[in-house]
Structure 1
């Protein structure tokens, strides 16, 4: 499967349309009647859709933010607003959403399905993976956490549901399928890759960011993050962060406020037919200390008549070509990033490299970034 895709635009789904008239300002909850039983003539598929919506709806929240930016010419403050979605993690009030939904926000508010509005605080965030954890004080409110499923057993073709607040239209359900797996997208952090993404044709639009992608058991299997579009609206190609990644990093965000990444010290790689050639290493970093080799600079003197020049040349032949990481073959930069993503600081990783025509195994103990 070709994991590289051409994107006209990768658009974060946070946002709200200007025609949304009603703002959630009243703290008094609206009393809602229990839903009437579904009509008897519904198809099994329709009944399944209804069950998913009714099971998950109370666990999905509407997030609104206010920001202040400053005019670059006169330095005057310019207020802005944003919106997105989120999912309730636990009864203590932790909520997960996309980092780009709350990025730069000076105020964050969360609205539940009963229209109660809460102030939210930022607990932890990571821009590279586009994950953030918020917290509200439920003040006696009985919160309904959203069950978390798995993403390692997803299959192309299985049903998928996106539940969120597109264009500020809260608690909107759209249906589709898992269209593909293990897609790679450019991260909002320059040079980083978001790999392992779930592709779906369940409609997503601005405002869906941070909302759940669900399976037929109303379990969260991903977090809606981006669409492929040239106009900023749904084109049938949406992407979600796999829930296994979220499950892995959320405890760290709650405990530390950030994700501590493993540091290998390999700065620049060049793709070639022979492997990933190491162009640059961090000085005294884990890879250099372990003996991996990158391009080196050779210096010699050259005489022209009475003048002696100091000449520097880049010796590329000295560099190692990475062939595998812990026995798993790698041939592209995204594959390298994906392999290294699974390690923690302190892990020992064995790089198989091609050096002077011979395969060499070099163990590297990872540091912390």
Structure 2
């Protein structure tokens, strides 16, 4: 009997095999999607469970401060005790109201301790019209103050602190004659009443001119982009050595807040004027005794120079023969030069007279009737001349 042969299976249909593989792939994809969705939903809970810190974090070692940071920190520590917060009350109230910023007619600014005797330098506009004054030292001590003297033409004032208990630290004085655009500048003050605020920047420009409330212009003004806001007035502008190079006094801003354009009265002017105010309570104003036409009026007439409207009786200008406008308004003398420098405005002339100094002579170039002539005029203290 022949051996039996097992029946052979027919080969699977290729279409069935492809369908089975497709089904397996779909199932695997669905499973992976479900796993991914589960992980996505559970991730926040798992992260919170596994990675949450149960106690305080370990402090990461910082390392040394950068040299520039260290220098700025040391500058602030060294200079801030020389800066005070000045309060001026415009009506008679209890002195305790000085403690309340901008309360009951109190305005405030900043100031610098000038000497160990307790003199403080600030802006005249900070204390103008005040009936009571005070200052808060860096120690927190509040001290009443009185006015020693003011110089509205330069927007400067000197105060005297009355019986401070804390030891006073006068600010170090620098020079504004050798400043350079681009060097570092630092401002300390009380912007918006926030005491002992430090801002940094650079000297943005030099030899600016700044009008004051007394219809005078301060020359040689320093421009800086260190943030200066209301309340910084009277505070120091410093160089990188921590020396006073200017007294912050004004900003240019449409909103009244810092826009990176601030101005400081140069320390060389502050030094000279503060010395005079401490000695006599007043500061000499160099002049020759003329009343000049408004610059806009001179420009309207097409005149480039200082138009002499009249001379003060007994003044050096009158003695030198300068002549004011006639009764019919005809221009007589126009000052176009001084000591070889062109004069275009009263500000130019005032700056030259300050450089010449009281008691010395200035050589003026004057145009009259289209002809030029040179005359020597003595520079005098016109503030005294007006009082006499």
The normalised TM-score by structure 1 is 0.77
Higher share of residues assigned strand? 1
Q: Shift of residue 55 of structure 1?
A: 1.4
**Aligned-residue RMSD, C-alpha:** 2.3
Cα distance in 2 for partners of 1:275, 1:126 equals 27
**Divergent runs of 4+, >6 A:** none
Cα distance in 2 for partners of 1:294, 1:201 equals 43
Number of paired residues? 307
In structure 2, the residue matched to 1:300 is none
List gaps (5 residues or longer) in structure 1.
Answer: 1-38, 70-77, 298-312
Q: Shift of residue 284 of structure 1?
A: 4.2
**Where does 1:210-249 land on structure 2 (aligned, <5 Å)?**
210-249=234-273
In structure 2, the residue matched to 1:315 is 330
Q: Shift of residue 196 of structure 1?
A: 1.5
The yes-or-no answer on 1:279 pairing with 2:312 is no
Indicate which of 252, 277, 280 corresponds to 1:253.
277
Cα distance in 2 for partners of 1:111, 1:186 equals 29
In structure 1, the residue matched to 2:323 is 293
The yes-or-no answer on 1:366 pairing with 2:379 is yes
Q: Shift of residue 140 of structure 1?
A: 5.5
Cα distance in 1 for partners of 2:164, 2:236 equals 24
Q: Shift of residue 167 of structure 1?
A: 1.1
In structure 2, the residue matched to 1:97 is 122
In structure 1, the residue matched to 2:231 is 207
Cα distance in 1 for partners of 2:366, 2:336 equals 5
Cα distance in 2 for partners of 1:55, 1:42 equals 18
Cα distance in 1 for partners of 2:113, 2:304 equals 48
In structure 2, the residue matched to 1:352 is 365
In structure 2, the residue matched to 1:32 is none
The yes-or-no answer on 1:63 pairing with 2:86 is yes
**Where does 1:117-136 land on structure 2 (aligned, <5 Å)?**
117-136=142-161
In structure 1, the residue matched to 2:55 is none
Note if contact 2:113-2:170 (Cα within 8 Å) is conserved in structure 1: yes
Note if contact 1:261-1:344 (Cα within 8 Å) is conserved in structure 2: no
Q: Shift of residue 111 of structure 1?
A: 1.3
Cα distance in 1 for partners of 2:367, 2:353 equals 19
SS in 1 for 2:154: coil
SS in 1 for 2:105: strand
SS in 2 for 1:315: coil
Cα distance in 2 for partners of 1:221, 1:356 equals 45
The yes-or-no answer on 1:266 pairing with 2:290 is yes
Deviates more, 1:331-340 or 1:172-181: 331-340
In structure 2, the residue matched to 1:307 is none
Note if contact 2:158-2:274 (Cα within 8 Å) is conserved in structure 1: yes
Cα distance in 2 for partners of 1:257, 1:108 equals 17
| Pair member with larger Rg | 2
After superposition, the Cα gap between the structure-2 partners of 1:277 and 1:100, relative to the gap in structure 1 and judged at 3 Å, is: closer
The normalised TM-score by structure 2 is 0.74
List gaps (5 residues or longer) in structure 2.
Answer: 1-61, 93-102, 384-388
Per-residue CA distance 1:223-277 (angstroms, 9 max, x = gap): 0101111111111111101000000111110111111223412202435455433
Note if contact 1:92-1:137 (Cα within 8 Å) is conserved in structure 2: no
Note if contact 2:149-2:277 (Cα within 8 Å) is conserved in structure 1: yes
In structure 2, the residue matched to 1:145 is 170
Q: Shift of residue 116 of structure 1?
A: 1.2
Note if contact 2:353-2:362 (Cα within 8 Å) is conserved in structure 1: no
After superposition, the Cα gap between the structure-2 partners of 1:346 and 1:229, relative to the gap in structure 1 and judged at 3 Å, is: same
In structure 2, the residue matched to 1:85 is 110
After superposition, the Cα gap between the structure-2 partners of 1:63 and 1:275, relative to the gap in structure 1 and judged at 3 Å, is: closer
Cα distance in 2 for partners of 1:276, 1:95 equals 37
The yes-or-no answer on 1:113 pairing with 2:138 is yes
